Amino acid sequence: MNKKTILTILLITGILLLIPLIAMQFTSEVVWTPMDFVVAGVLLLSAGFAGVYLWKKLAQSSYRLYIIAGLILLFVLLWAELAVGIFGSPLAGS
């Protein structure tokens, strides 16, 4: 991975984390703790780096898009579980 790719992933993660930070200034419905930002940042960075790694590693695979779609689905399900506990697992505090 080159420096430009790493910088791009970090920049996109930072921009995405600015959304709840700005929303917290205007509404009381968004209440994130510093730990929420850390967990979201780790999750976003992990998904970003894994996506880039898989995209480059599977360049010759006809299943590349399916694997990336699976990664995105895993990210969304984990995010939803951590946010609202849709499965009621101990991960969400249930």
- The tens digit of pLDDT for each residue in 32-88 reads 999 999 999 999 999 999 999 999 999 888 889 899 999 999 999 999 888 887 777
pLDDT at 93: 67
**Whole-structure pTM value:** 0.86
Domain ranges of the chain: 3-92
Query: For tokens 């499965």, what's the residue?
Result: 87
Give yes or no for residue 89 having a pLDDT over 80: no
Whole-angstrom Cα Rg for the chain: 15
Which is nearest to 54 in space by CA: 78, 71, 74, 76?
A: 71
Instruction: Name residue 48's amino acid.
Output: G
Question: What are the structure tokens assigned to 77, written together?
Answer: 């399900």
